[in-house]
């Protein structure tokens, strides 16, 4: 076994210490196998190799490099079994070598035993065979080499590995506009929330995190974490060559209650890497301590004064920005400070936190019926309303200042505006008390449409053809109300099957207005926004121009129509959007083959063809060719003739007007593992 030399390198990082924030010098260690090179705030995990010369050592043959934070970090409180969550942010560049195959790639790595890796093996420095539980590790791989023996999907993917180099979840990033081999600097964000048992990975070409992750996977890391774990990176070149550089690394652990880790027991392993840009989580951070206190004392005077000046300046800049931003938003959106100023006769009943906790049995985990990016939904019971759905917004989303989007305020303001319709989820109450923000909705016994449609649980018997047609007409009725009949025009922006709820009679009710935009009907010009939503449902012009309109909602509605008719997901596991799949069938005169096979012969063929053609007209690439939702509903009912569709899917050229570097906001929640319980390609577990 190759022996390793461990060195300690010093870099400047900001540390969270106890209840406050201080700055200290912390060590960064690298397991040297002839590959790592440290320069300023960057570390080159691998160096360029000569592919045509014999290797001088086993390590150079595989070009393995590893670097770890010098101290172990606490991830598990053994006394309470409380597991930490973490956030990670770093930039990286993978530069190819001329005339050589590409290297293997690199991983962000959390392991309980740094010395357990044989760095001569390749595989990005990870073991090919599964480790035992005593040497557990978790890695997020940025893989640039296709290796069928590891069940790789291609040579340009991101995956999540647990105790083996074989990924249990991965996503092809080529289709998302990401090329790991481009040589361009990219930034990655990795987040694990223990409350959701979910890992999310974002990658983009700018320093601004995209709103939607490339890869989402559900996993309970409490089963893998030891009390203390090492955090770092591992890379290898294998039979190829590439320079793989990581810099601007920021890492933060949070989720431990302060009372669980008293300051007098804080050990050396409790510290973690952090930067001023990451100090947005204001509570629940893991306690830690100073390393190298003597150096800190020398710098505390100057550092404290400088930090104070920078802090005051930053506050002034942010305050000015927020004031300007708030004025621009006031014309069409409410902020959370305005919630308490609504007219009393328009606002649903305000509930106390005690009532909410009583209804949900103290937010009992067993009562969870849905999870989303901003909230968790519980089934509850209130004496005055009976069964209800209690939407508890994440405290991470409450940290935003009023100048930033607030899902609770946006949804509350939209729902209070005028939303009283039989095909919309009805808001029955709300709570804003302490650190809790809660909305209470009517309870839908049959849950969300996607659960029944895509999980195939009694799909044929539950979703008969008559019910499917009624569901589509119900959703169209809701959208007609939002677009044309409400006092202000509301663009939903997130129409999808997991936001369509079914009552006891399988009537459809549209919900989740967290992304909704509200406009005056007379408004002729609209500012571009950063596109938000779910891959497979987004209209092409919205992706490139960022302007939400009724026709962008029509496109999403068309995807839902095709889903209901075919039983397929909006994006298949091979990455094919349902719209493209149906266009191909139309071109080959096989349209009826799109019908859901679980229906057998129980559907009306003419009605099925009509529904599919209406769906195709709604997903027309040219927004001007799409019908309104009202026109689509009349077609579905057979009141007007069907649209004349082109022989094949039209090609439309759209020039993006979004700022450079904002393209990565469009890549989106990919779940390549068909065995996961979450609905792939949708906002994870988002059912309201």
Cβ–Cβ under 8 Å, residues 373 and 209: no
> What tokens were used for 61?
């043959």
Running DSSP on this structure, what letter comes out for residue 285?
A: B
Interior CA angle at 142 toward 139 and 148, to 5°? 90
Q: Are 528 and 651 in contact (CB under 8 A)?
A: no
CA distances from 403 to 331, 333, 406, 542 (A): 14, 11, 9, 23
Structure token digits, residue 1: 């076994």
Q: Are 499 and 511 in contact (CB under 8 A)?
A: yes
In angstroms, the CA 14 to CA 47 distance is 29
- Report residue 114: phi and psi, to 5°: -60, -35
Using left for φ > 0, alpha for ψ between -120 and 50, and beta otherwise, residue 117 falls in: beta
Query: Does the annotation list 509 as a binding residue?
Result: no
CB 9 within 8 A of CB 38: yes
225-235 burial: b if 16+ Cβ within 10 Å, else e: bbebbbbbbbb
Tokens 């053609």, residue located: 613
Segments in 247-341 forming alpha helices (H): 293-329
Q: Alpha-carbon distance 101 to 48, whole Å?
A: 11
Helix (H, G, I), strand (E, B) or coil at 349: strand
The active-site residue out of 121, 143, 172, 494 is 494
Q: Work out whether the CA dihedral 525, 530, 535, 541 comes out positive or negative.
A: positive
503 in catalytic set: no
Ranges of H-type helices in 534-655 = 540-545, 550-566, 578-587, 605-618, 629-636
- Residue 225 corresponds to which tokens in the numbers above? 């974490």
Q: In what order do the strands lie in the sheet with 375-382?
A: 349-350, 427-433, 436-442, 386-393, 375-382, 368-371
The C-alpha atoms of residue 656 and residue 676 are separated, in whole angstroms, by 35
CA triple 586-590-592, angle to 5 deg: 100
Pairing of strands 349-350, 427-433: parallel
168 in Cβ contact with 160 (< 8 Å): yes
SS3 state of residue 188: strand
Q: Pick from 611, 663, 653, 646: which is nearest to 632 by CA? A: 611
Angle formed by the axes of helices 550-566 and 465-480, to 10°?
Answer: 170
Residue list for the binding site for ATP = 391
Residue list for the binding site = 391
Question: Residues with catalytic annotation?
Answer: 494
């Amino acid at each position: 076994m190759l022996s390793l030399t461990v060195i300690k390198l010093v870099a400047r990082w900001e540390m969270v210490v106890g209840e406050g924030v201080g700055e200290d010098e912390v060590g960064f260690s690298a397991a040297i196998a002839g590959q790592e090179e440290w320069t300023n705030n960057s570390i080159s995990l691998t160096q360029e190799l000569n592919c045509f010369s014999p290797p001088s050592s086993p390590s150079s043959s595989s070009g393995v490099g590893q670097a770890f934070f010098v101290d172990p970090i606490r991830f598990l409180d053994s006394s309470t079994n409380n597991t930490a969550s973490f956030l990670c942010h770093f930039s990286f560049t993978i530069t190819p070598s001329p005339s050589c195959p590409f290297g293997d790639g690199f991983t962000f790595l959390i392991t309980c035993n740094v010395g357990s890796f044989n760095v001569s093996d390749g595989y990005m420095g990870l073991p090919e065979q599964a480790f035992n539980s005593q040497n557990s590790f978790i890695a997020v791989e940025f893989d640039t080499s296709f290796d069928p023996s590891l069940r790789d999907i291609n040579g340009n993917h991101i995956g999540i590995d647990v105790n083996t180099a074989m990924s249990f979840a991965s996503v092809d990033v080529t289709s998302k506009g990401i090329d790991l081999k481009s040589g361009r600097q990219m930034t990655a964000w990795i987040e694990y929330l223990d409350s959701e048992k979910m890992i999310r990975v974002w990658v983009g070409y700018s320093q601004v995190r995209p709103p939607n992750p490339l890869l989402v996977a559900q996993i309970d890391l409490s089963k893998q974490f030891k009390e203390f774990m090492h955090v770092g990176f591992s890379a290898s070149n294998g039979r190829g060559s590439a320079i793989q550089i990581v810099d601007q690394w920021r890492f933060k652990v949070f989720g431990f209650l302060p009372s669980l880790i008293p300051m007098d027991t804080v050990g050396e392993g409790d510290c973690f890497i952090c930067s001023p840009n990451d100090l947005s989580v204001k509570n629940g951070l893991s306690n830690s301590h100073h390393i190298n206190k003597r150096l800190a004392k020398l710098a505390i005077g100057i550092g404290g004064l400088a930090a104070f000046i920078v802090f005051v300046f930053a506050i002034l800049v942010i305050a000015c920005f927020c004031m300007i931003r708030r004025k621009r938003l006031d014309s069409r959106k409410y902020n959370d400070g305005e919630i308490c100023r609504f007219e009393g006769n328009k606002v649903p009943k305000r509930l106390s936190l005690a009532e909410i906790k009583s209804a949900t049995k103290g937010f009992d985990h067993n009562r969870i019926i849905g999870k989303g990016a901003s909230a968790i939904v519980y089934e509850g019971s209130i004496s005055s309303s009976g069964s209800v759905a209690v939407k508890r917004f994440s405290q991470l989303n409450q940290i935003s200042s009023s100048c930033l989007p607030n899902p609770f305020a946006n949804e509350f303001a939209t729902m209070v505006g005028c939303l009283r319709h039989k095909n919309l989820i009805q808001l029955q109450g709300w709570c804003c008390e302490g650190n809790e923000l809660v909305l209470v909705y009517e309870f839908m016994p049959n849950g969300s449409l996607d659960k029944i449609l895509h999980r195939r649980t009694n799909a044929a018997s539950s979703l008969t053809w008559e019910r499917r047609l009624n569901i589509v007409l119900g959703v169209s009725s809701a959208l007609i109300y939002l677009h044309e009949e409400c006092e202000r025009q509301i663009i939903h922006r997130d129409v999808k099957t997991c936001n369509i709820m079914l009552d006891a009679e399988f009537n459809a009710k549209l919900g989740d207005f967290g992304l909704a935009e509200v406009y005056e009907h007379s408004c002729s010009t609209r500012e571009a926004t950063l596109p938000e939503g779910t891959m497979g449902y987004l209209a092409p012009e919205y992706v490139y121009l960022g302007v939400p309109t009724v026709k962008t909602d029509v496109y999403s509605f068309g995807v839902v129509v095709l889903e209901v008719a075919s039983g397929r997901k909006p994006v298949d596991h091979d990455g094919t959007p349902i719209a493209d799949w149906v266009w191909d069938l139309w071109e080959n005169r096989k349209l009826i083959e799109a019908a859901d096979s679980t229906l057998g012969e129980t559907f009306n063929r003419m009605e099925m063809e009509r529904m599919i053609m209406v769906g195709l007209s709604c997903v027309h690439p040219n927004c001007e060719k799409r019908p309104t939702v009202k026109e689509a509903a009349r077609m579905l009912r057979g009141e007007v003739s069907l649209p004349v569709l082109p022989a094949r899917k039209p090609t439309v050229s759209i020039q993006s007007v979004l700022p450079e570097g904002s393209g990565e906001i469009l890549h989106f929640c990919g779940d390549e593992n068909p065995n996961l319980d979450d609905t792939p390609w949708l906002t994870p577990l988002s059912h309201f």
